[in-house]
Amino acid sequence: MIEDAFVAALEEVPDLVVRAGEPAARHTTLRLGGPIDLWLLAETEAAAGEAARLASAADVPLRPWSAAPDWVLDGGLGGAWMALGGAARGMTRDGLMVDVGTEVGASVFACWAEAEGLAGVEALAGRAGTVASAWRAGHVAPVAVRALRGSVFSWAKQASANRVATSLRLALRPMVGLGDYAEARQARRGEAEGLPGRLMKDSEHVTAARAIAEAGLCGVRLRQLRVGEREPNALVHLGGGSSADHRLLVKMIKDRVKTVSGVELEVERRPVGRS
């Protein structure tokens, strides 16, 4: 249980947004989830460090929102979670060495690197999510990470992806070919991995998108959720949907695909939180 005195102390920290009962749906990839016990947004490293100090003093685990799940159950999430705002944005270059904020969009960073004539992050071209999510998935290998240790941010050669981190330092190389980034973007269109709202895993013999399309489910709506029309393996949220709606939609897809083609699809993501 989070004490009122701890919340009151956090509310006194400059550049720190404090919200009790914040809907997880506002911040998850699938826009699903109930209330978070305590949600924080730090706009500066100083604010994040002070929040970590107060959490440690109150014996409250403080988890980084960048390591949060794609969707949360309707009962919400327990504990305290901290997201980073301006403290984890921006890109700077010193020769071939680049510092990039963990909350910068992965595809945005790839576009910037391409414009700068730098190679080495083609894997991020056209990819959904942030630089932090790409780092957690192993698509970038930083030479150093600026992360929170105790209540102080510092650079380290290695840092766990579940730490509160504001920046990654990457050693890139001069770009030689002009088509690498374009090819990477093209490869992620349609059925490729990396799309937001991805519903089902690809099977051994057919992609989930094709199996769903062949089952006639493109654009099918269930309450406030809809199967994608152009990308059948993506979820379109029309606003106000719930995790319960998601479960029903997934069950309908699995049953229909199995009936039509005999393919048994598996869910791409698993929820966390209170049911």
Domain of 80: which CATH number? 3.30.43.10
* Domain stops at, among 168, 187, 206: 187
* pLDDT recorded at residue 187: 65
107 with 174, same domain: the answer is yes
Taking the complete model, does pTM exceed 0.75, yes or no?
A: yes
Q: 134 and 178, same structural domain?
A: yes
Task: For residue 189, name the pLDDT band (cuts at 50, 70, 90).
Answer: low
Above 60 in pLDDT, residue 190? no
Looking at per-residue confidence, does 100 or 2 come out higher? 100
Range of the domain at 154: 89-187
Is residue 44 pLDDT above 50, yes or no?
Answer: yes
In this structure, are strands 77-84 and 35-42 parallel, antiparallel, or unpaired? parallel
Residues 133 and 67 in one domain: no
Domain count, the chain: 3
Same domain for 54 and 20, yes or no, is: yes
Taking residues 161-170, report their average pLDDT: 86
**Statement to judge: residues 176 and 101 lie in one domain:** yes
Q: Which residues contact 219 (CB under 8 A, 6 or more apart)?
A: 226, 227, 228, 229
Q: What is the mean pLDDT of the chain?
A: 87
